[in-house]
Chain A
């Protein structure tokens, strides 16, 4: 079955770094764009970053631009999020999600159809 499994979360001091991984299975990983989405404790969902199916294009939320890097290794069916210069406000559950494209009345629409269970990042001294 289609599955995404995040790992790499933990406790890190402000200014530190962490790399998250998202292992994909049950689908052709190299054919799909992938997102990272996070959720701070007791808060709503925040989109973090997106990478095209082949890694050729990447987009970031302003809140992480210049500090976080999304990447992928299609040979390993794995998505990554390198997080540097971490701040207390980066504390959250981080989810990876698969992007699906469907044509409706001749137009491509995009949505997140499969999500992992999340990995928790805590930035604290």
Chain B
């Protein structure tokens, strides 16, 4: 099974900051990496698929990069609505594992 590890687990930042979240796979997953945002009490929302493709309707301040085992989600300028928990997920093989999540909090 492929293990997904995110860092950091939590992060404090201010509106306007540039934020980077990383995700590492325990083996190569090519670009089969997706990013989701989840707010408390809500379902996850797709942000990025295929490591770097922006889902329709998602603001361009979100971007993704990486391939193989190392991936990055960048929020270029934090907005108040971006404070949430972020998950990476591999779709290379079953079981389709998620990272443990990164909670982004207001500083």
Please tell me if B8 contacts chain A, counting CB pairs below 8 Å. Answer: no
What distance in Å separates the Cβ of B47 from its nearest Cβ neighbour in chain A? 10
A47 to B91, CA, bound (A): 11
Please tell me if A67 contacts chain B, counting CB pairs below 8 Å. Answer: no
- CB closest chain-A residue, reference B98: A45
A31 to B47, CA, bound (A): 23
B interface list, Cβ under 8 A from A: 1, 30-32, 34, 36, 38, 42-46, 49-50, 53, 55, 87, 89, 91, 94-101
Main secondary structure on chain B at its contact with chain A?
Answer: loop
Please tell me if A95 contacts chain B, counting CB pairs below 8 Å. Answer: yes
**A50-B96 in contact given A45-B89, A109-B50 (Cβ < 8 Å):** yes
A14 to B89, CA, bound (A): 30
Please tell me if A9 contacts chain B, counting CB pairs below 8 Å. Answer: no
Residues of B within 8 A of A59 (CB): 94-95
Number of interface residues of A (CB under 8 A): 25
- CB closest chain-A residue, reference B30: A107
Are the C-beta atoms of A50 and B49 separated by less than 8 Å?
A: no
Are the C-beta atoms of A112 and B32 separated by less than 8 Å?
A: no
Partner of A44, one of B42, B50, B91, B98: B98
Are the C-beta atoms of A104 and B44 separated by less than 8 Å?
A: no
Are the C-beta atoms of B50 and A47 separated by less than 8 Å?
A: no
Nearest first, the 5 closest Cβ-Cβ pairs linking A and B are A109-B50, A111-B49, A115-B43, A110-B91, A59-B94
What distance in Å separates the Cβ of B52 from its nearest Cβ neighbour in chain A? 9
- CB closest chain-A residue, reference B45: A115
**A46-B91 in contact given A112-B46, A117-B43 (Cβ < 8 Å):** no
A61 to B97, CA, bound (A): 9
Partner of A109, one of B31, B38, B42, B101: B31
